[in-house]
Structure 1
Amino acid sequence: MPRITSGFKRQGPEYRFGDQTDFHEIKHTFGFKTITIGSWVTPTEQRLGANLIYDALADLAQILQVPPFVIGLKGTLNFALGTGGQLGVQAHYNASTRTLALAKNAGAGALAHEWWHAFDHYICKHVFSHSSAHSFASSLWLQHPLSNNHPLNLQLAKFFKMILLSSKGDKPSQFFEHAKQLDSQYGLLYFSLPQELSARAFESCIAYNTSISNEYLVSGVKNSELQQLGGFPDLALNTVLSETIFDYFKALGIALHHHSG
């Protein structure tokens, strides 16, 4: 039985009131540029998937207190379900095509993590003049000064600093050190990359928010093996990170609201 049909625990507001949604509505509501559905995703799976994805994205917008169209990153983000995919990869963000892709049967729980990658990539050019087409803001933060000291950018920089540096800012954070240990344990360079550290920090903030829980949006954080190995921020750090990043998005939401109002 494919994962897409199994029950995901969710606690949060009703958006659809039991109505069936579809990918056209998802594209329109969340402002995606395109949505592509793999040819082997059955009509039943499409219906189930659409409801799960709609609720997860609406939950994300609600947690962040931003208008739903922010999720589609001003019409620049493409979304794909069950198209190709890579073996063993449940979900991924492709910077060269600006596509957030979920595997048909295993993308669940990775949505918040992958959306952060998309956001981190999108926001880079608004924060750094040094950005290339494939740069992530989190990875440029250590190398370059902000080219735009807008209050929102300063708030985002605060988030990166807490993730990457110690409280005094004079050495790498414990979170980074744990990630480096994981990399050497597995013989790869992955966990300690700034864009991966920030994505895990973000999904951890989403997982520990008290207002809404949605296993399709984020799972595998709380009490996971990776958490026990220090792959996520500890609870004290998570608390200040949550405050920082939720304040950032709340301010962004207010700014956009005034701008469009």
Structure 2
Amino acid sequence: MQKINDFGEKIGGAKKDLWKERNMIFEDTIEMTEAEKRKYVKRDNIWKKINAEEMLEKGYPRLIVFWLKEMRACIYPDMKRTYISIKEYIQAIEKIRDIVMKVKTEDDINLAWKKILCEEGVLYKTGPCRYSYAVPYYGIANGNKFLKLHEKDALDRLKMKMEKTGFGLSKTEFLSKKYDIVEFDEETVKVEHERFGIQKGKPCIAWKISGKTYPFYSRSEEINLEEIKKGQYLLLCKESRDVLFYGSKPEVILFKDTLIDLLIAGEKRKTKRKGKKKLVPKQLENIERKGKDYRHGHNIVGDDFLNAFKIRGGEFGNYTNDQDRQANLNMAYEAFCDLADALEISREDIGLVGLETGALGIAFGARGHGNALAHYEPGREVINLTKLRGAGSLAHEWGHAFDDFFGKIVDSHIVGHYATNMLRIDAIPESFKTLIHRLIRNEDNTFTEFYMNAEKIDQGATKTENGYWKSKVELFARAFACYVKDKLRESGKRNDYLCGHADLVNYESEEGLIAAYPTGEERKRFFVLFNQLFVELKQLGYLHEPIDDYEFNNNSHSQFKDLASENNIDLDNATQLTFADFGI
């Protein structure tokens, strides 16, 4: 079998691997699309999160590590508050980052502030209680947060915050600091009676520290403070000002250790909850197709995608063999032809010409995305199918691509949004608005079963984003895949590679199976609305009627053209060719 390689334009994409181990630099952004810049040019990529545990292991003082984290938190997480260029934004954060990250001692903190405020000109003082930015740094950080970290008593307040949150401490260490064991010596620790307030006349433990007396009370009938004898020890809670226990020193130590163990065990029980299940469609065991023969027995090559569908390019993962590559090319080609026929549009519309990158890209096992069988990348505008495991999801992902394409075509000024999230835009056709509304609510304004099921799945199934299953974007893609499947079925066709998962995604809940796709009468109503949508989209010129679509035959197939060219064969005038003539 001839080696099958990537085809068309290089899809590329943000090379996130480059800044996994280092911070992002401006040069990383040069080949990014605008969508990728919006997604990746952020504080967390330019200034990596501080690994507190690692720094503490290296011997950094807790206060220094806490200060570093607080200083980094002053930087806004993205560019929404700034009007400077990406290059200025990155370089400004780099400058502050490099100053801050050199701090290793409390003395270094003062030197860092000197550089930030004076030498580097990052900030300048506009009044006794306010700072502003030098022009290149405008809008990258919260000046008031910086101010609080630079005030005279800032470090003292930072220490209090650090201790209160237990930063850098194990759970046992953190809880231990809440409780003190003190000796009842009748001098610094003794019994007194309250002279004022609602506790007037009641005994309390008075603990004198640095000239100031702190009262602690017994809230248990089993602890009579007036029975405590000199030389005994007490366990005091600093937060609640409670006397928890008293006795000999070993007894009090044992009580404290037991109490802490119980508190930790209680927190674990409290936080332990039933884990959410992942809802990932199973790989199809069999991939069936019934319909028109589009390939005429030929193995599809990359040029066929470029010519037939106006796809801008395709790529394969390094771990896909030629057999898998050819199988995917053949099935994806047939699937796109079936999709165009089902939607009654030109095959050239499948490539969604007009996207930011020019047109849609396709990848086979080349752009892994967690456990997803397939996914669409709006930043690079490419559909990825995970080897043959992605079979069954192509219609769903094309639905996402179309949603993205339509949003960009309708209003290019609104960036980073799918059309399903732009329903207030006047340019969105009424048929599209009606469809999205009806996926969620019935005509009587009650929620659809499709939407309510999605809400239940969100409560029990894991996904990166909250509300993933009930989001308009996902509701549209799932309903669209079902529409395509039903359209094919209507004309006696079937294509599992295209939409095999359309009605196979179910969530196993305590109530039984919950369908993630539309069913019954709702599905029929959605089918009619999708029909109306694609009719209107063609009337408005967004999509086109089928035309004389790309076809190939034995003598014009690009695979043979390439081989003929390599062997100096004139296909138009050649007769009785053999494989040997092609060098095979």
Both structures adopt the same fold (TM-score exceeding 0.5):
yes
Which of the residues 125, 129, 148 maps onto 2:408?
125
**What is the TM-score normalised by the length of structure 1?**
0.85
Equivalent pair of 2:431/2:529 in contact (CA under 8 Å): yes
**Bigger relative contact order (CA 8 A; separation at least 6):** 1
Please say if 1:221 is aligned against 2:506.
no
Query: Contact conserved, 2:376 with 2:400, CA < 8 A, in 1?
Result: yes
Counterparts of 1:251 and 1:197 in 2: how far apart (Å)?
21
> Could you say which residue in structure 1 is the equivalent of 2:64?
none
CA deviation profile, 1:92-125 (whole Å, cap 9, x unmatched): 0011111111111311000000000000011013
1:196 aligns with 2:478: no
| Structure 2 residue aligned with 1:107 | 390
3-state DSSP of counterpart to 2:518: coil
How far apart in 1 are the matches of 2:287 and 2:436? Answer: 31
- Give the match for residue 67 of structure 1: 346
Alpha-carbon offset, residue 37 of structure 1: 1.8
Cα shift at 1:204: 1.3
Q: Unmatched 5+ residue regions in structure 1?
A: none
Where structure 2 has 5 or more consecutive residues not aligned to the other structure, the ranges are 1-281, 549-584
Of stretches 78-87 and 110-119 in structure 1, the one that deviates more from structure 2 is 78-87
**Which structure is higher in helix share?**
1
Q: Supply the AA of the counterpart residue of 1:38.
A: G
2:443 counterpart letter in structure 1: S
Deviations 1:66-111 (A, max 9, x none): 0001111015211111113123111000111111111113110000
Aligned length: 250
Q: 1:54 aligns with which of 319, 323, 333?
A: 333
User: How much does 1:13 deviate?
Assistant: 1.2
Pairs within 5 Å for 1:1-261: 8-74=287-353, 75-128=358-411, 131-132=414-415, 134-141=416-423, 145-148=424-427, 153-168=429-444, 170-186=445-461, 188-209=466-487, 210=489, 211=491, 212-222=493-503, 224-226=505-507, 228-253=513-538, 255=541, 256-257=543-544
Which one has a larger percent strand, Structure 1 or Structure 2? 2
Deviations 1:165-212 (A, max 9, x none): 2223x3543322221111012255210111001111111112223222
- 1:46, CA displacement in angstroms? 1.7
* Bigger mean CA offset, 67-76 vs 187-196: 187-196
Cα drift, residue 257 of structure 1: 4.4
- 1:30-86 Cα offsets, whole Å, 9 max, x none, are 111221122322222221111111001110001000000111101521111111312
Q: Distance in 1 between matches of 2:503 and 2:383?
A: 24
Contact 2:324 2:388 in 1 (8 A): no
Tell me if structure 2 keeps the 8 A contact 1:31–1:69: yes
- CA change 1:121–1:11 in 2 (3 A) is same
The CA distance in 1 between the partners of 2:321 and 2:310, in whole Å, is: 24
Q: Letter of the aligned partner of 2:432 in structure 1?
A: L
State which structure, 1 or 2, has the greater radius of gyration over its C-alpha atoms.
2
| Secondary structure class of the residue paired with 2:389 | coil
The answer to whether the 8 A contact 2:312-2:359 is kept is yes
